[in-house]
Amino acid sequence: MLDSKTYFTKNRDQQIAYKQYGPNGNETIVFLHGLTSKKEDWNSPEANKGTTYIEFFINKGYRCLSVDCLSHGESSKPEEAENYDRRLLALDFISVMDAEKIEKAHFIGYSMGGLLGCCVAKFYPHRIKSLMLGGHCPGVGTAEEIKRQDVGKLTFDKAQEIFDDNFLEQFPKDHLPAIRNIWDKMEEVEGLETAVANLNVPVLLWVGEEEPVIFEKGKSLAKQHGWEFFSVEGDHIGGFVNTGSVQPQLFQFLSKISHD
């Protein structure tokens, strides 16, 4: 596992934490984590089967930035809902790129990180060199993803009503107000499929084959929009941790992209 100190930058008076790996000047990949995850999970042996994502891409010659989303890790955890506007969340990642003087980067997002990558595509498309989304399909919210469209938008409060008492146990109690806001944002998917389709940069989707909805939806969207698609064994978690299957295909995708 590679070691890196934590750096901080500010966007709209909120602190955004990130780690950087690899030399300046190399092509950069920005990693966006999922709900309840953190920036370290991209470089954690416990969260990756085999070589970590960071180690893999550093060894391939890339510079890597892993960022704590607002409400997670060492980033700020404001309780006010207005802090979780999609444009502001996207700008958090752009602020990290600006702090590191990076004009354009490849983005890899998993689960909620995939949705946040779509937000970057909608509001800051000129900063993206390529977009790789795992465990997420553009335009698909939480309710559709788990086949619960019957409840409408699956807000945090609705999820708490539907699921058992274990639902709250996955979240740190002192972070619940912030987590509630970012959870609700995962149902605001309007315009994101169109934004990704209009990117004019290479796009790739990948999912676990046991995903109930987004396995078929991902294949369909990829065919419709000319995106690349692959799947790996396992469910939503498997789509992230099965690095031996995922990483080579991400690298193959990146290898097709000409370096500017």
**Would you state the pLDDT for residue 97?**
98
**Would you state the pLDDT for residue 65?**
98
pLDDT, tens digit (0-9, with 9 covering 90-100), for 171-212? 888 889 999 999 999 999 999 999 999 999 999 999 999 998
Q: Which domain holds residue 163?
A: 6-255
What is d(CA 255, CA 235) in angstroms, rounded to the nearest whole number? 27
**Would you state the pLDDT for residue 172?**
85
pLDDT, tens digit (0-9, with 9 covering 90-100), for 202-236? 999 999 999 989 999 999 999 999 999 999 999 99
Which segments of the chain are extended strands (E)? Answer: 6-11, 14-21, 28-32, 63-67, 105-110, 128-134, 203-208, 228-232
90 in any annotated domain:
yes
What is d(CA 45, CA 61) in angstroms, rounded to the nearest whole number? 20
211 in any annotated domain:
yes
- Relative to beta strand 105-110, strand 203-208 is unpaired
1 in any annotated domain:
no
Give the predicted TM-score (pTM) of the model. 0.95
Q: Which two tokens stand for residue 8?
A: 């901080």
81 in any annotated domain:
yes
**Would you state the pLDDT for residue 259?**
53
Most confident of 3-12, 59-68, 138-147: 59-68
In the DSSP assignment, the letter for residue 131 is: E
143 in any annotated domain:
yes
DSSP β-bridge partners for residue 12? none
**What is the number of domains present in the chain?**
1
Instruction: Please work out, in degrees rounded to the nearest 5, the angle formed at the alpha carbon of residue 255 by the alpha carbons of 194 and 211.
Output: 50
CA atoms within 13 Å, Cβ hemisphere of 206:
26
With cut-offs at 50, 70 and 90, classify the pLDDT of residue 258.
Answer: low
Question: Is 53 within 8 Å of 43 (Cβ atoms)?
Answer: yes
What is d(CA 56, CA 112) in angstroms, rounded to the nearest whole number? 22
201 in any annotated domain:
yes
260 in any annotated domain:
no
111 in any annotated domain:
yes
Percent of the chain at pLDDT exceeding 70: 98
pLDDT, tens digit (0-9, with 9 covering 90-100), for 13-50? 999 999 999 988 889 999 999 999 999 999 988 777 78
CATH number, domain containing residue 245? 3.40.50.1820
